[in-house]
């Protein structure tokens, strides 16, 4: 298997699991293509051609040495120390979940999908888009001083294949949780927490003291309408969105992680918040993707926070 095949598989799986639906994503790709064709030669030179086929700016091949992928090691965060470890242990390919390189620098672009998901939960699209847009520019400026090529340079010098797969995996986790929770009779937050605790990644997280938790609300609170708005879409939206979500009839936010400031704002608008856990939820999505690779390579190992659970 080649690294480019893993990349293509990630895009396809990400699109199939996208909460917005495959048709919406494909239509957006077609629009980008249309806009690209209207650019002049100078503008085309600067255009990232991956955007014509890949709707997820936080997912990119970071270094492809052209060699066959055989022994893969996968982690949530990959810094030069993980790459050195991978080389020492004779792995030929490293998969990171969190973005690095150009995928990190352009992470904010993927956040547009949050507005469309919020609209599915009843927040008017104009409001969701305006709030998300403001947050996108804030995230983009926040990332700009980061030394985002540090790990990419290390992978090149170590001659390792290196790729990061972020939103496609988060989409797989969001889709899995959406299907799983929709099939359950959930009355209270306690029912929701109990249901989450049956998922193997969360069982392991409980042992690691990082299991699912209620951040806002009491365990006997009614769940009301669940919103899986903080599982996928790059990084956290603005806290201003919570007032609009409450007005749209959302009862409980199910998210991977939430800052104290965001939690307070959600609480103020009487929203319940259930946090599934960051590393465990990232692991869930990464696992669902790795299951598709499992029989195509000779080995897949886990490190850097990844809780590897196989479902194949």
- What is d(CA 224, CA 188) in angstroms, rounded to the nearest whole number? 8
Q: List, in sequence order, every residue forming a beta bridge with 95; answer none if it has no partner.
A: 74, 163
Pick 13 or 282: Cβ nearer Fe ion:
282
CB atoms within 10 A of CB 297: 17
Q: Kindly state the smallest distance separating residue 77's Cβ from Fe ion, in Å.
A: 9
| Count of residues touching Fe ion (by CB under 5 A) | 1
Pick 221 or 281: Cβ nearer Fe ion:
281
Please tell me whether residue 204 binds Fe ion under the rule CB under 5 A: no
Q: Which two tokens stand for residue 41?
A: 């030669």
Pick 129 or 280: Cβ nearer Fe ion:
280
Determine contact, residues 1/297, Cβ cutoff 8 Å.
yes
Q: Kindly state the smallest distance separating residue 134's Cβ from Fe ion, in Å.
A: 22
H helices, E strands: number in the chain: 14, 9
Q: List, in sequence order, every residue forming a beta bridge with 225; answer none if it has no partner.
A: 250
Q: Kindly state the smallest distance separating residue 169's Cβ from Fe ion, in Å.
A: 9
Pick 58 or 282: Cβ nearer Fe ion:
282
Q: Are strands 161-164 and 60-63 parallel, antiparallel or unpaired?
A: antiparallel
Q: Kindly state the smallest distance separating residue 266's Cβ from Fe ion, in Å.
A: 19
Pick 230 or 282: Cβ nearer Fe ion:
282
Determine contact, residues 253/245, Cβ cutoff 8 Å.
yes
Unique residue bearing structure tokens 């946090």: 275
Q: Kindly state the smallest distance separating residue 127's Cβ from Fe ion, in Å.
A: 26
- What is d(CA 225, CA 248) in angstroms, rounded to the nearest whole number? 10
Determine contact, residues 252/226, Cβ cutoff 8 Å.
yes
Pick 56 or 246: Cβ nearer Fe ion:
56
CB atoms within 10 A of CB 104: 23
Determine contact, residues 58/48, Cβ cutoff 8 Å.
no
- State how far Cα 83 lies from the chain centre: 22
Pick 201 or 282: Cβ nearer Fe ion:
282
Q: Kindly state the smallest distance separating residue 3's Cβ from Fe ion, in Å.
A: 22
Determine contact, residues 242/271, Cβ cutoff 8 Å.
yes
Q: Kindly state the smallest distance separating residue 67's Cβ from Fe ion, in Å.
A: 29
Q: Kindly state the smallest distance separating residue 159's Cβ from Fe ion, in Å.
A: 28
- Residues 244-303 binding Fe ion (CB under 5 A) are 282
Pick 82 or 282: Cβ nearer Fe ion:
282
Q: Site residues (CB under 5 A) for Fe ion?
A: 282
């Amino acid at each position: 298997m080649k690294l480019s095949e893993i990349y293509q598989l990630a895009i396809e799986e990400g699109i199939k699991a996208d909460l917005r639906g495959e048709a919406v994503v494909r239509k957006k790709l077609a629009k980008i293509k249309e806009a690209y064709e209207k650019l002049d030669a100078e503008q085309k030179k600067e255009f990232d051609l991956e955007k014509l086929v890949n709707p997820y700016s936080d997912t990119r091949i970071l270094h492809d040495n052209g060699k066959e992928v055989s022994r893969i090691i996968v982690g949530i965060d990959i810094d030069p120390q993980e790459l050195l470890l991978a080389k020492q242990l004779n792995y030929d390919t490293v998969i990171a979940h969190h973005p690095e390189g150009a995928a990190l620098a352009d992470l904010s672009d993927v956040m547009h999908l949050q507005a469309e998901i919020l609209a599915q939960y009843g927040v008017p699209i104009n409001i969701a888009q305006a709030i998300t847009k403001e947050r996108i520019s804030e995230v983009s400026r926040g990332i700009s001083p980061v030394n985002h090529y540090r790990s990419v340079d290390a992978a090149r010098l170590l001659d390792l294949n290196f790729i990061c797969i972020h939103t496609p995996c988060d989409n797989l986790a969001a889709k899995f949780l959406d299907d799983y929770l929709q099939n359950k009779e959930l009355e209270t937050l306690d029912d929701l927490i109990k249901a989450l605790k049956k998922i193997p990644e969360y069982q392991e997280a409980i042992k690691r003291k990082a299991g699912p938790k209620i951040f806002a609300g009491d365990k006997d609170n009614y769940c009301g309408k669940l919103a899986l708005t903080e599982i996928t879409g790059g990084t956290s939206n603005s806290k201003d969105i919570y007032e609009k979500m409450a007005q749209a009839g959302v009862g409980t936010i199910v998210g991977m992680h939430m800052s104290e400031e965001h939690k307070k704002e959600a609480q103020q608008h009487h929203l319940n918040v259930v946090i599934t856990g960051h590393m465990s939820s990232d692991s869930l999505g990464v696992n669902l993707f790795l299951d598709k690779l499992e029989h195509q390579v000779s080995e897949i190992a886990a490190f850097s926070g990844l809780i590897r659970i196989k479902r194949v």
